[in-house]
Amino acid sequence: MATENVKIVDPDNGTGTDYTSLSAWEAGEEKDLQQADEIAVAKCRCSSGSADTDPITIDGSWNPDATRYIKIWTDPSENYRHDGKWNDSKYRLVATATHLLRIYEAYTRIEGLQVYNTNTSTLAKDGIKVTPSNNSDEVTISHCIIRGNNPTGDAYGRGIYESQATLKAYNNIIYDWGQGTTEARGIYFYGVSTNAYIYNNTIHNCYYGLNRRHGTVVAKNNITQDCTDGFYGDFDGSSDYNVSDISGDAPGANSKTCTVSFVDEANDDFHLASSDTCAKDAGVDLSSDPNLAFNDDIDGETRSGSWDIGADEYVAAGGQVFSVTLQDSLSLSDSRGAMQDKVMAESLALSDRKRKELEKCFLASLSISDRKRKELEKHFLDSLSLSDTHFKSCLFHRLFTDLVTITDTAVKTLDKSLQDQLDISDKLVKTLSKIFTTSITLTDTFIAEIISGVVEKVFQDTLLLSDLKKIDLDKKITDMLLLSDMKRTDLDKRVADTLSLSDARRIDLDKRVRDILSLSDIKKLDLDKKLADTLPLSDTYIAQITGILTKVLVDSLILTDRSKKELFKSFFDTLPVEDTIKAQVIFTKLLTDTLLQLQDRRKKEIEKTIAESVALNDKFTKEELKILTDTLIQLSDNLNAQIVWAVVKVITAMFTDIKDPYGMKKDIKDPYGMKGS
Amino acid sequence: MPAELLVKACDATHSNEVKDLRGCYKKGYVVVIKPDGWKWGKEELNKEKFYIVRVKDANPEDLQHLIQFHEINLGTRYHAVSDKLGVFVTSTDKDLAQSECLKKCRLVAQELSHFGITVNESDYNIKIEEEPELHTIARRRYKVDISGIEDGLKKGIIEVSAKDLKIIDQRQ
């Protein structure tokens, strides 16, 4: 059987406080509960009414199971639990947070807390977020009041957010989680393949009251009021006995659409009013429910008879007595039914009045009781304080006197002891100095010896190692040489093989060269033959060209002769008669000599040109030969002209002293443009 | 107004990496921040559990960042799935996911063989899927480096100025 490890959490640090915040409790108490075989219990108080203002996350090394679990609660037998309505003098967790109370651990039970997330931002925010690791991890939330701060716009507020857990939530009041958007929910079921049992909760003023998105959600005996959509999503078929103020909203055949009358809705008191006819006695008895059985309400009052729907079970003062009376009355005859009803109504009215009076008396008594208690506490504390002061004063005086006496004696003793110790200390210092000096000398020697010894040993070891290494290296070299010889032999063999192959290759190549040469000879013969065949053709060409040239030359000469004759005629016509014969003789002789001389030279040049032409013959096409021929003709013409001109010039030079009665010397024409050449 | 920090004095650990990083208080983590003169409870004054550091020149509001969380990436997660045999394995190690899935498939196939159903390995049809979203968790972003003042903290409350408070940013 696991033991309960109960710690007191009290932000006011009252008597017996272990932690001043739940957050510190979580950090200080987290341990492997299975290993410790413990149930971790945080019993929450607020001895002076202060709120716990630190958000808390239950996570880490807890490792709980079904019998070694985590329990955070307010003990109803103490005076720190709310009374079914938000109460600022009772234990409460109040902060502006994303997740005010986040539960990552399975088997966590939250009971009787007031949780108020004051966050109004548009980001996500929850009162209690339940996200353990496995869908089977059970988390129970009961008897809690979970408030939002009426966030507007993109509210994203969730009173309880469930994911990856088996959530059991009952007897909770959840309100003001926002009407702004669809993200505002009283309880949101997000976990896929999870189970949730949501019984007897009252949810007020949220966009969605219960919003099932995933998982199996069984909703019974729940009230949703003033929500845009009270029950949103597909709930399990066993869901029933729910109430919504929206028609057709609450799931279950026995569910109702009606407006619940609360005691003071405007001030968030969601106890059922005596006048309520919607939720009262309209629920189902869940005291034997196989999944979640209980039989009380948010105030801890026992539910009986036909259960009320919602977190509160209406119990009128003396109501149960009247109930019995009613049963008895109902057993009377029908004829007395009307009388019974009347009596019943009067009784109820009386009962209500009585209850209110009693409540008033009770509250007054409580108020008196509280005042009295506070006065008594104050007296008690004052008494304690006075008592403590007096007692401490007497005791202190006596102790002080004793201490002074003792101290004087002790001081004297200590002085003497100190003097003795100083003397001893001086002697010791001197002795130690000597020992120290000697030690240093000895140490130096010793160190030198040690170093010498160590060095020598290291040297010897090194030599030994060196020898061993040398032997090893010799062996390796020998092995390598042996391997090298083998390798060399192998290489020689491979070279010989290669050479042998090379010879064969060379012979083969020689043969191939010879074959090629042989072919070359054949080719040469063939070419010679082709050349021989070509030569006659060449000769033919040469003959043709020579003939052409000869003809050209002859024609040129003929033309030249004609021009020459005309020239001479013009020239000689200008000469005086007596000079004409002389000039004709000289000119003829000169002309003849020059022509012969030039003809020889020209002939040689032409022959040379022809020879070159013959050599080039094979390379020229007929067109090229024609061009060549035309060029030669032109050259020949020019040459003849030059010759004639040269002769004229010579003659002109010779006859410089010859009279020129007709001014011909100056007007000698240059029909071939030779003056500038 | 000075502030007092309740600082964890020892490590809590969990074999599960996610729970260890996300939920276990480590030495130096600031648990709560209270105004100067806060009356601490008995267990909060237990030096084996907590130290108290008084920051003389900072308001509690100025130090709220010390209890912030930050997101850390635990790496890509791979799912090895055999639809045919209904086997599903998740791991941050791709090869491990595949090999574990294969092992499980073999076991399933072995069981099926008792019923006369033969499934060859070639029919396991194991597919590897990479989780599209990063696998992240929230962890405390800061912790106080108390190594230099721990001896003093063991004796009682130590007062420091905000600028002398050595803060370790665990994102770095």
Confidence (pLDDT) at A473: 79
CA gap B45, A46 in Å, rounded: 19
Q: What is the pLDDT of residue A373?
A: 73
Q: Is A61 part of the contact surface with chain B (CB cutoff 8 Å)?
A: yes
Distance CA A361, CA A354 (A): 10
Gap between the Cα atoms of B10 and A239, Å rounded? 48
Question: Residue A106's pLDDT band (boundaries 50, 70, 90)?
Answer: very high
Lowest mean pLDDT among A443-452, A556-565, B24-33: A556-565
Which is higher by pLDDT, A665 or B109?
Answer: B109
Give the tens place of pLDDT for each residue, A471-481: 887 888 788 78
Residue A642 in this model has a pLDDT that exceeds 70: no
pLDDT at position A335: 43
Q: Band of the pLDDT at A158, cuts 50, 70, 90?
A: very high
Among B25, B39, B40, select the one facing A30 at the smallest CB separation. B25
Three-class DSSP category at A197: strand
Return the bridge partners of A196, or none.
Answer: A167, A217
Closest Cβ opposite residue B6 in set A17, A24, A29: A24
| pLDDT over 70 percentage in chain A | 64
**Please, which residues have CB within 8 angstroms of residue A30's CB and are 6 or more apart in sequence?**
A60, A61, A62, B12, B23, B24, B25
Q: Tokens 């003001």 correspond to what residue?
A: A176
Looking at residue A544, its pLDDT comes to 64
pLDDT band for A80, please (50, 70, 90 cuts). Answer: very high
User: For the segment A310-346, what is each residue's pLDDT rounded down to a tens digit?
Assistant: 999 998 765 443 443 444 444 444 544 555 566 566 6
Q: Which of A7, A20, A29 is the closest to B40 by Cβ?
A: A20
* A72 Cα distance to chain centroid: 39
Q: Among A117-126, A656-665, B10-19, B101-110, name the one with the lowest average pLDDT.
A: A656-665
Distance from C-alpha of A240 to C-alpha of A253, rounded to nearest angstrom: 6
Residue-level length of chain A: 677
Euclidean distance between CA atoms A556 and B74, whole angstroms? 113
Half-sphere exposure of A559 (CA within 13 A, CB side): 14
Smallest CA-to-CA distance from B9 within B44, B33, B39 is with B44
B48 CB within 8 Å of a chain A CB: no
Tell me what the pLDDT averaged over chain A comes to: 79
Taking CA A446 as the corner, what is the angle to CA A441 and CA A448, rounded to the nearest 5 degrees?
A: 100
Task: Among A193-207, A306-320, A440-454, A476-490, name the most confident range.
Answer: A193-207
What does the block give as tokens for A40? 């971790």
Please state whether A67 falls in left (phi above 0), alpha (psi between -120 and 50) or beta.
alpha
A23 vs B41: CB contact, 8 Å cut-off?
no
- Judge contact between A157 and A125, C-beta under 8 A: yes
Mutate which of B20, B42, B46 to test chain A, going by most A C-beta atoms within 10 A?
Answer: B42
With cut-offs at 50, 70 and 90, classify the pLDDT of residue B156: confident
Over 60: is that where the pLDDT of A662 sits?
A: no
**A213: distance to nearest CA of chain B, Å?**
21
Most confident residue range from A12-16, A454-458, B162-166: A12-16
Contact criterion met (CB < 8 Å) for A19 and B43:
yes
For residue A647, the model assigns a pLDDT of 61
* Nearest Cα to Cα of residue A242 among A202, A272, A293, A211: A202
- Give the model's pLDDT for residue A213: 86
Nearest-CA neighbor of A113 among A128, A99, A124, A125? A128
Q: Kindly determine whether residue B32 and residue A8, on different chains, have CB atoms separated by under 8 Å.
A: no
Please check the confidence at residue A606 and state whether its pLDDT lies above 90: no
Would you give the DSSP letter of residue A52?
B
CA A239 to CA A377: how far, in whole Å?
51
Smallest CA–CA distance, residue A59 to chain B, in Å, is 5
> Which of A18, A27, A54 is closest, CB to CB, to B42?
A18
Query: What would the mean pLDDT of B23-48 be, rounded to a whole number?
Result: 94
With CB atoms and an 8 Å threshold, state whether B46 touches A13.
no
Q: Would you call B31 an interface residue with chain A, using a CB distance cutoff of 8 Å? A: yes
Q: What pLDDT does residue A322 have?
A: 40
Q: How many CB pairs under 8 A join A and B?
A: 76
| Interatomic CA distance for residues B71 and B79, integer angstroms | 22
Question: What pLDDT was estimated at residue A124?
Answer: 81
Give the predicted TM-score (pTM) of the model: 0.56
Quote the CA–CA distance of A441 and A561 in Å, as a whole number: 143
Cβ of residue A19 closer than 8 Å to a chain B Cβ: yes
Q: Least CA distance to A62: which residue of chain B? A: B14
In sequence order, the β-bridge partners of residue B34 are B4
Please give the pLDDT value at position B172.
67
Show the tokens assigned to A434: 């000597």
Query: What pLDDT was estimated at residue A625?
Result: 60
- Domain residue extents for chain A: 92-315, 530-667
What average pLDDT does range A369-398 have in this prediction?
Answer: 68
